[in-house]
Amino acid sequence: MKLIERTLYMDKLKNVIGTPDIKVITGVRRSGKSKLLEAFALYLNNEVENANIIHINFNLSEFEKLKDYHTLNDYIENRYRSGAENFILIDEIQMCPGFELTINSLHASEKYDIYITGSNAFLLSSDLATLFTGRTFEIRVYPFSFREFLTYYDLNDVSSAFDRYVAEGGMAGSYLYRDREEKYDYIEDVFNTLILRDIRQKYKIRNPVLMDKIVDFLMDNISNLSSARNIADALTHNKDQINHKTVANYLDYLCNAFAFYKVRRYDIKGKKYLSTNDKYYLSDHTFRFAKLGTKNLDYGRVLENIVAIELLRRKYEVYVGVLYKKEIDFVAIKRDEKIYIQVADHIDSPDTFQREIDPLLKIKDAYPKILIARTHHDTYQYEGIRIIDIGNWLAGSN
C-alpha cells in the first residue's frame, strides 16, 4: 500500500519526544494508527542520535509470547540500553491482558519514552486517567482528510477531487480496491467486524440487534438532533418497549469506539451549553454509504458530516449553535477563537442562499462567520460573511 507522511500527527509526535507523558494514539479502527507508529519508529531511527527503539506489534505472531504482562515487562527491560535514548512503541497494547501494570511500572522507572496504540473499545479516552498513574498525552487519529486524499492520489483539480472524496472517503485501506462496490464492501467489513465486534466484546452487548438498529438510525439521521429517548421511541415497534437508558449506553459505546462523534448544542445568546438533543457524526461519511447505500442521498448532510470531522481534526471544540430557535450548523471554538459556520450543498438559488445566510446574519457579535458550500468559485464576502467553496476550505486554499 502506498504510504504518505501524515504531517499533522507526525508533528505532534515529534513535539512530545522526551516529555514524561505516556503517549496514547487513539482513533477509529483502520484509520492509520499502526502505520503512523511505524513511520514514527523510522523517524526516530534516522533522526534521534543513539536511539534504542523497542517496537512491539501485537498483530504479528512473533510477539505472541509477550501477551503476558510479566513477560512483556521482562522483554522490554532486557532490551534497555544504558546511555541511550530508550523508546517503547507498542501497537495493539490491549492484546496483552494487564498491560497497564507493565506500562505503569516502566513509566515509573523514568527510563523510557513510551508510545502505545490500541483498539479503541479497549483503550478509551475516558479510561486513560484510570488505567495509567502517569500523565497521558492523547493523539487522536482520524481517517484521511481531503488534503491527505489529494496527496495520496497526487491530485490538483480540487473540484473534481472533492467529488471523488465524497464518494470514496478517508478509509485509506479501501483505496487498494479499484471497483467502488469493492471499496464499500471493505468499509462495511471494517465497521461490522472490527468496530462493532470490539464494542460487543468490551461491553458484552446482550442485544446486538438493537445495537445494529441504533447504528442504522444514526447513519440515516446524520445532522438531525437526536436523544436517547427519541431514538428509543422511534425504534419501538409492536409495543416492544426499548429502554432509553439502554439506548444511551449504546450511544456512549459507539462514541467511545470513535465510530461516531457527539456534538452538543450551544445557546449563542445565553452563552451556555444545552443538555438536551445532540447530533452524531460518523468518523468517516462512507460508512453510511457502505451500510445504507447511496440512493436518496442527502448530500447536504454528507457535507455537514465532512465539515464536522474536519473541525475536530483541526482541534476545535465543536457545538451546534442555537439562536432565537434558529440553528447554526457549527460553533467552532479553540481557546479565544470562535467561528460560526453554516454548511450547504448548493446555494445557487436566491431562496436557498437566503435560508442559509439568515441565521448567520442574526448573530450580532464580531466573531467570524462563514458559509461553506459547493460554490466552485473563489472565496467572496456577503455582508461580512465569507462564502467558501468546501473543496478549497478542506484543502486549506481558502
Give the per-residue pLDDT at 238. Answer: 53
The SS3 assignment for 83 reads coil
SS3 348: coil
**pLDDT one digit per residue (tens) for the chain, 398 residues:** 688 999 999 999 999 999 999 999 998 888 999 999 999 999 999 999 999 999 999 989 999 999 999 999 999 999 999 999 999 999 999 889 999 999 999 999 999 999 999 876 667 666 777 788 878 899 999 999 999 999 999 999 999 999 999 999 999 999 999 999 999 999 999 999 878 888 888 889 988 999 999 999 999 999 898 989 889 988 887 556 788 899 999 999 999 889 999 999 877 776 777 767 899 999 999 999 999 887 667 889 999 999 999 999 999 999 988 777 778 999 999 988 999 999 999 999 999 999 999 999 998 889 999 999 999 999 999 999 999 999 999 998 65
CA torsion, points 251, 252, 257, 258, in degrees to nearest 10? 70
User: Is the CB of residue 215 less than 8 Å from the CB of residue 251?
Assistant: no
The burial class, CB within 10 Å (0-12 / 13-18 / 19+), for 48 is middle
Residue 124's φ and ψ, nearest 5 degrees, are: -85, 150
Q: What integer pLDDT is reported at residue 302 of this predicted model? A: 95
* pLDDT (0 to 100) of residue 131: 85
H-state helical runs in 109-194: 128-131, 146-153, 158-168, 180-189
Does residue 174 contact residue 167 with C-beta atoms inside 8 Å? Answer: no
Name residue 268's amino acid. I
Q: Supply the pLDDT for residue 22.
A: 95
For residue 129, what pLDDT is reported? Answer: 72
Contacts of 381 (CB under 8 A, 6+ apart): 387
Distance of CA 250 to the CA centre of its chain: 18
pLDDT at residue 260 in the model: 95
Tell me how far apart the alpha carbons of residues 284 and 289 are, in angstroms, rounded to a whole number.
Answer: 10
Query: Mind listing the domains of the chain with CATH numbers?
Result: 7-141 (3.40.50.300), 146-395 (no CATH)
Residue 321 has phi, psi (to 5 degrees) of -85, 140
- Tell me the three-class secondary structure of 4-18, residue by residue: CCCHHHHHHHHHCCC
